[in-house]
Structure 1
């Protein structure tokens, strides 16, 4: 019997010997069932770090090479719509109710006098030109990163996202502000949503979307800090009411998640660099948990001060101001924690065949 017709003998492995599955896969050469192409062939060509289009040309087909998991896209879409609905709820509570108008007016008129002097001084740095210049620098930096990484689909996503955010900022001139009570701050014109907050949040969100996996957690922290600073600055400077800032944060986050649901090919991390990120897991988990607790506690405090709002009680001033700060901080942390997690899900999905291919299968019979 020739070697060609010699049946394959099973390999008996010593159960006490160390096992290196990666070496085993490389030796045997795993064949994908869709194409019959060995993954070791791709390694010889250096294709593990190649773009999805290049792998497609070699014959390797995996749905997760060209788009995130369906569950991740649905998750982005559901949370994005939910955040936009919450933005509408925030506007209605702050603008269309007596307690909401009283709360916003009390916070805006007494914010700078209640917070410590150093806090007011730090927030006072956030002038109109400063917010515009820094936000523009962040946005341009995000675009530059996407260009250097050759993430052309992501650039398109970012362009659509920027246009949508700009359109949403124009709602300030469309949404009504009914006259319910007489307030200290001018009540004649609607100020929701805050254009400055939308600009700052949008530029920060673009940074989170653009950076590679290893910098994603750090970009999320920078985005949170910048969003919080501008959100509090517009209230301290009496440019906007607390509701305006909260509404703007929710709008930007909702739009960003909906845009992420459309992620494809070059909007994702390159093959061979897709890994889980401990930094993103920690930052996103802590931010979402702390943000939800802060938001819930702020809501509880607001509910407690409602009796003092209609009569402008002095005892309600302090609690109103600090609850507004906690509310803005809580929403800011929650939305950027959620954005960081969903960006990781859409940018670095593991291949359906894993990092090295499918598990080895018994040899087929040649009969």
Structure 2
């Protein structure tokens, strides 16, 4: 494929005109895996911000302002049990998530972005990790439950760390590599998020809220970098398989959990609650990772 030539815009600045889901037609000879309206929806930072904010507010309100949802959430937390082997391999590793380990990984992502001469992506990684985790800690500390059946634990701090680092890795990665990172990022976020439920550290809604906070900050980071960067870059418009790749990563984490001895505590009702609690967690992780990956490719290159 020939290299695209810069074209002047209304202000006279040169921008690279590249095939895009949002800003142009699919190149001749390259199959389109999504219709144009769906592509516009996928790559829209405004849509991502609206969906994530509305979903977070809904989860926050339902699970901290209604007694029935609070009771179900607590039952979801207690729906599974873990063998000693599962505890060692799933719950114990969560203790290694510390401020030092997070800072080390974030510094590595910043170095990768700067090595690619993409300072904007380094800024995006810092915003996602820093902003999402500060937001989580503020809500955990100051948002009350009403009726006050128990103290608020939403969003989950460990889940926020895992998802924000996964998304930061995707943002700083080269465009061609992002889709290959999707299953690994979904696996990591699911493993930690579901692990906090299995270890009875957090309720399911705590984890879901954490993922949505990370999605919201990702939308803001991508939007900011899109405004700051001086030129567009070649984009990878192969979006359709990313959700499936994310589900594969999440399912792999689930299979590992089952193989290590995670089971419903008792009765069919606990089985249904465990499936909902852990299943929605995995699907949401896959959805968030796939969406950010696609939006980053389309907007940032």
Task: Tell me the TM-score range normalised by the shorter chain.
Answer: 0.7 to 0.9
* CA deviation after TM superposition for structure 1 residue 248, in Å: 0.5
* CA deviation after TM superposition for structure 1 residue 167, in Å: 2.7
Question: Residue 286 in 1 paired to residue 244 in 2?
Answer: yes
Question: Residue 173 in 1 paired to residue 141 in 2?
Answer: yes
Going from structure 1 to structure 2, the CA distance change for 1:179 and 1:34 (only over 3 Å counts) comes to closer
Per-residue CA shift, 1:328-356, capped at 9, x if unaligned?
Answer: 001101111111110110123xxxxxxxx
- Match of 1:151? 118
Question: Residue 345 in 1 paired to residue 298 in 2?
Answer: yes
- Match of 1:276? 236
Superposed, which structure 2 residues align to 1:99-178 within 5 Å?
A: 99-113=68-82, 119-130=86-97, 135-169=102-136, 170-178=138-146
Alpha carbon RMSD of aligned pairs, Å? 3.6
- Match of 1:213? 175
Superposed, which structure 2 residues align to 1:1-367 within 5 Å?
A: 61-62=14-15, 75-113=44-82, 119-130=86-97, 135-169=102-136, 170-179=138-147, 187=150, 189-264=151-226, 274-276=234-236, 278=238, 281-287=239-245, 314-348=267-301
* CA deviation after TM superposition for structure 1 residue 117, in Å: 6.9
- Match of 2:257? none
Give the TM-score normalised by structure 1. Answer: 0.62
Q: Which runs of 5+ in 2 are unaligned?
A: 24-39, 252-265
- Match of 2:35? none
Going from structure 1 to structure 2, the CA distance change for 1:110 and 1:147 (only over 3 Å counts) comes to same
* CA deviation after TM superposition for structure 1 residue 265, in Å: 7.8
Going from structure 1 to structure 2, the CA distance change for 1:325 and 1:239 (only over 3 Å counts) comes to same
Aligned residues of 1:249 and 1:331 also touching (Cα < 8 A)? yes
* CA deviation after TM superposition for structure 1 residue 131, in Å: 6.1
Give the distance between the partners of 2:290 and 2:64, measured in 1 at CA.
27
Aligned residues of 1:126 and 1:233 also touching (Cα < 8 A)? no
Structure possessing the higher radius of gyration over alpha carbons: 1
Aligned residues of 2:243 and 2:286 also touching (Cα < 8 A)? no
Aligned residues of 1:249 and 1:332 also touching (Cα < 8 A)? yes
Going from structure 1 to structure 2, the CA distance change for 1:61 and 1:106 (only over 3 Å counts) comes to same
Give the TM-score normalised by structure 2. Answer: 0.74
Per-residue CA shift, 1:86-144, capped at 9, x if unaligned?
Answer: 0121122222222211212112224225xx77655532243322465654443232111
Q: Which runs of 5+ in 1 are unaligned?
A: 1-20, 36-55, 182-186, 295-312, 349-367
- Match of 2:30? none
Residue 200 of structure 2 aligns to a residue whose secondary structure is: coil
